[in-house]
Amino acid sequence: MMRFMLLFSRQGKLRLQKWYLATSDKERKKMVRELMQVVLARKPKMCSFLEWRDLKVVYKRYASLYFCCAIEGQDNELITLELIHRYVELLDKYFGSVCELDIIFNFEKAYFILDEFLMGGDVQDTSKKSVLKAIEQADLLQEEMGLA
Amino acid sequence: MSDIVEKTLTALPGLFLQNQPGGGPAAAKASFSSRLGSLVRGITALTSKHEEEKLIQQELSSLKATVSAPTTTLKMMKECMVRLIYCEMLGYDASFGYIHAIKLAQQGNLLEKRVGYLAVSLFLHESHELLLLLVNTVVKDLQSTNLVEVCMALTVVSQIFPCEMIPAVLPLIEDKLQHSKEIVRRKAVLALYKFHLIAPNQVQHIHIKFRKALCDRDVGVMAASLHIYLRMIKENSSGYKDLTGSFVTILKQVVGGKLPVEFNYHSVPAPWLQIQLLRILGLLGKDDQRTSELMYDVLDESLRRAELNHNVTYAILFECVHTVYSIYPKSELLEKAAKCIGKFVLSPKINLKYLGLKALTYVIQQDPTLALQHQMTIIECLDHPDPIIKRETLELLYRITNAQNITVIVQKMLEYLHQSKEEYVIVNLVGKIAELAEKYAPDNAWFIQTMNAVFSVGGDVMHPDIPNNFLRLLAEGFDDETEDQQLRLYAVQSYLTLLDMENVFYPQRFLQVMSWVDASLSFLDGFVAEGLSQGAAPYKPPHQRQEEKLSQEKVLNFEPYGLSFSSSGFTGRQSPAGISLGSDVSGNSAETGLKETNSLKLEGIKKLWGKEGYLPKKESKTGDESGALPVPQESIMENVDQAITKKDQSQVLTQSKEEKEKQLLASSLFVGLGSESTINLLGKADTVSHKFRRKSKVKEAKSGETTSTHNMTCSSFSSLSNVAYEDDYYSNTLHDTGDKELKKFSLTSELLDSESLTELPLVEKFSYCSLSTPSLFANNNMEIFHPPQSTAASVAKESSLASSFLEETTEYIHSNAMEVCNNETISVSSYKIWKDDCLLMVWSVTNKSGLELKSADLEIFPAENFKVTEQPGCCLPVMEAESTKSFQYSVQIEKPFTEGNLTGFISYHMMDTHSAQLEFSVNLSLLDFIRPLKISSDDFGKLWLSFANDVKQNVKMSESQAALPSALKTLQQKLRLHIIEIIGNEGLLACQLLPSIPCLLHCRVHADVLALWFRSSCSTLPDYLLYQCQKVMEGS
């Protein structure tokens, strides 16, 4: 199970955070700060996996944005890397060649997509089509209501 | 209750003036969304944290005003909520908005509700009290006819839901399992899974419904149910064995591409699903042959199918390998999995290499040859620029540490430790180093130095067990008083040196360890006297010393003792802790000792000692000692058994210097991992004693009965250390070498056994018996004891010598003892023990005369091709009448050769009159250093291609071995080659020259001619082996 997912910029600005295990606010802040430091200090050719505290961390950089997931001991690092990639694909499809700015200004949309893809830290739907269908359905309803 | 809450909320004034007519909402929307935009842009433009803080505080106060204003519409509220989420993400507190998030989820239309639920799930955690206000909203939405509302409710339920409110929604969610829409059923399953995680008891009754979900017509629902099954099987695998068939069938369908294309990920069928299933199968098949057999086929297919060169196939492969190694083993699958690991390890992609190392770490105890196979990669990874790779490599080495490679591995670990800053890493590594040091330390100096490094780096963060165990060890020792003393002495001297260094700070815990050790050092009296005579500083009272010590912790100031430094090398070590030693000499040693322990106890020793401090044990032991059989008990406890072979072999290879260095490192790292050592390695955890620890375990068991206060603990320790130093006790131990005493020993051990039956598990006792044999060599005690279960007493002395050795190392073959020289006084015979990792030469010297021999000493001349290492304790000054001593040397070969001689002499004094010397020589053959190399045919193939040096030769076979198998058998028996496989008229064999130079042999039979083809990484080895082969074939 995924413990949390962070999106942050090269400058160390948090863009999105999703916690799947109850964590106190103070602890969250500390973990985010520490982990960002560790990940940002790593060089480009280095391994995408870390052992950090009692967790495994999988991260990947897309353009200026780092996607960073903390998973548990028995979880598979490589598939988590693909999970990140699938999430990026979903964002890309939804926003149309997504960039950091899309996520900064529409972060709630990024959250909705994530919630449709993962539920409580586990993959619920790996089909790109059906995730986006669910999102569009909700969006459509919103538009209808906006018009009404 | 929540009903009332909801009404109260509704009644809040001014909140629900939404849907105001006119351009209000539209205008608001524009202004608000642009306000998020301008906020974001504003923040991005700022350069200092201070400015950001100012801006956000402004924003928050304006938001606070807006959300509580009566005129704010829900639409505006939605925009406010998004900005609040943004502020919280930047790390600012927006808790004033939480209640409004709940209200938004409750009252808003779909559009607003969605943001409200999102904000709630981001702001609150499971036990937040405000969550109770959400329950009714969730219940309402779960009952909604609108699909989107139902989905939102299910999503939020799976994110955060108060445990105690589960019953309120459970029936509704259960109903959703029958919903017509796949998406609802799927989310319901996942919500129930989350309930299972936080409150398993509450969903127990719906297990049968999970089975229905597993059989759902939609793949998504089935896949969701696997989360629950994985969890439940992890908790109790035996309850779900009947489902193995179903899981296997599902995996077969997935692997076979029977799923709809939309589940493909980069044209790999449902990888997430595959991995879930593989993990489930791994749990089901663990230690269960019958269940495992059901999955062999599908695992084989998974390994075969995952050929595509995409990361995701590697993810599946990795899981598959894990599963193959988790379940009941099947050699064919293991071979394929091992090959897979090779793909990872050898991959140029760093992520795959890392996972390869992880996989190796996981399987290394089952299959140590795999480490040998990849040793060069492992060596490279040890110096990898990425610290993560390095760390994983150390983790791998940690698993293969043994008495021979400990120094190299711990050195590597210490190097890493010194570069680490992360606390978690330090704690972890320090624990491992301490554990290895206690288990395999080659000698006292190394042990103390290693522990010093451990304390100075990890002192502040390490697990308290480490200093506790260490102090216990110093206090109790390991039964050879001389060695104990040396250990303590060395410890103290090293601390004095450390404290002498200026501007160095030590962690509090390390200082505590030092001061604890310092306080009980009455045995240093001799040195103190010397120190005093050479001008060391005089005694100071304990409290003053403590103060000084504390002040030294900050600034080391040595001015008062400056003079004493110059007087001698020794006094240099004496200050400042030397002062306390002075105290002991001033005549009231015992008294001050007591005083000091008392004061120290107050200073924080308490923290170091748990409820079961070590001294009650020590006390009970003292009691035993005063009983009937004091000394033998000590001998049983004795545990310094690791025959340590220092290994710094140089391998002569025709490679670059760097390559050579790596080879060298490899040979010192992977020593003891050779073909035959599989048993050793697997047995390691069980049979190899902790070098130091085991004894304390016994005492721990005994201490269970005794309880004592800290006061008692401390004072009795100091008294004990005095007792331990008493002269008769000391001489007692030395006395104890006669044959009669030895018989007593076995008797005693039996007695002890029956006495302590209730305290010690049986297995433990057995290991003591067998372990006590080798330990004697490390002692000053050169006698070979018959372990209680040993062979009949009628066996001749030499052979009994050998047989008792066999007790220790049943799998080692040894030669017969041969007399190498003798005179009227002594007789020397020798034999070889072909250990896995070295050749052990044993010379046993028998004193035939009725007189005592003095200064008996055996020395081996340095030889060109060999490196000879004396085993501990080979020099014993006194040799009693009609007794036998044995001297052990481990011999390593430095470069291949055919035959060589090892010569040496034995010297002794008789009756203080004349000294005598007797020379001897022993012949060594290359074959003494050849060991079988057990590898698979596949590995043979790989290695074969990688070796550059080869030799071919045809040998005529004698009639008796006209068939290939019999010829190979001869090679196997005479040369210790390992037969890997015989295919028709061809045979594959492998061996290694110690420490780890492999050599491969390919044989083919034509009529009566055997074509031999050797290949090796060493240029000369094939020639020498061929020569030996010819000799053997002709000879037979």
Mean pLDDT by 10 residues, chain B (1036 residues): 38 33 36 70 81 90 90 89 92 91 91 92 85 91 92 92 89 93 93 91 85 90 94 92 95 92 89 95 94 95 79 92 94 91 90 93 83 85 89 90 86 87 85 87 84 82 80 73 76 78 73 66 54 62 58 45 37 36 38 36 35 37 38 36 36 58 77 49 37 41 39 37 39 40 38 38 37 35 38 37 37 75 83 82 82 77 77 60 79 77 80 75 85 85 79 76 76 84 85 84 82 84 83 72
CA distance A110 to chain B (A): 11
A126: chain B residues, CB-CB within 8 Å: 223, 263, 265, 270-273
CB contact under 8 A, B86 and A107: yes
- Listed in sequence order, the DSSP H helices in B809-963 are 937-946
Q: Do A22 and B118 touch (CB under 8 A)?
A: no
pTM of the model: 0.59
**CB hemisphere CA count around B14 (13 angstroms):** 7
Share of chain A above pLDDT 70, in %: 95
Q: Outline where B586-677 has alpha helix (H).
A: 589-600, 606-608, 615-626, 630-637, 657-669
Residue of B nearest to A144 (CA): B111
Structure-token pair, residue B552: 């030294």
For chain B, say whether A140 makes contact (Cβ under 8 Å). Answer: no
Q: Which residues of chain B neighbour A128 with C-beta distances below 8 Å?
A: 262
Give the residue ranges of DSSP H helices in B441-541. Answer: 444-458, 465-476, 481-500, 508-519, 525-533
How many Å lie between the alpha carbon of B368 and the closest alpha carbon of chain A?
22
Write out chain A residues lying below 8 Å of B111, CB-based: 141-142, 145-146
- Who among B110, B220, B355 is closest to A145 (CB)? B110
Which chain B residues contact residue A17 at CB under 8 A? 89, 122
Closest alpha carbon within chain A to B225: A124
Give strand pairing partners of B987. B982, B1003
A37 touches chain B (CB under 8 A): no
Alpha-carbon distances, residue B495 vs B36, B448, B451, B500, B515 (angstroms): 63, 10, 11, 8, 9
Task: State how far the alpha carbon of B593 is from the alpha carbons of B523, B538, B720, in Å.
Answer: 11, 16, 11
Rounded to the nearest 5 degrees, what angle is found at the Cα of B792, between the Cα atoms of B790 and B796? 105
Strand partners, B827: B822, B846
Closest-CA residue to A48 (of A17, A86, A79): A79
Does B319 touch chain A if contact means CB atoms closer than 8 Å? yes
Give the pLDDT of residue B563.
38
DSSP letter, residue B487: H
Instruction: State the pLDDT at residue B544.
Output: 62
Bigger pLDDT: A133 vs B693: A133
> A93 to chain B, minimum CA–CA distance in Å?
15
Instruction: State the alpha helices, DSSP H only, in B21-127.
Output: 24-45, 49-68, 74-89, 98-107, 110-123
Q: Which of B86, B89, B302, B425 to mutate to test the interface with A (most CBs of A within 10 A)?
A: B89
Is residue A67's pLDDT more than 90?
yes
Q: Kindly determine whether residue B311 and residue A81, on different chains, have CB atoms separated by under 8 Å.
A: yes
CB-based contact B344:A76 (threshold 8 Å): no
Chain A residues in contact with B227 by the CB 8 A cut-off are 122
* Rounded distance between C-alpha atoms, residue B153 and residue B145, angstroms: 12
Pairwise CA distance, residues A91 & B915, whole Å? 91
Per-residue DSSP letter, B784: P
| Residue of chain A with shortest Cα separation from B278 | A76
Q: Which residues are bridge partners to B426 per DSSP?
A: none
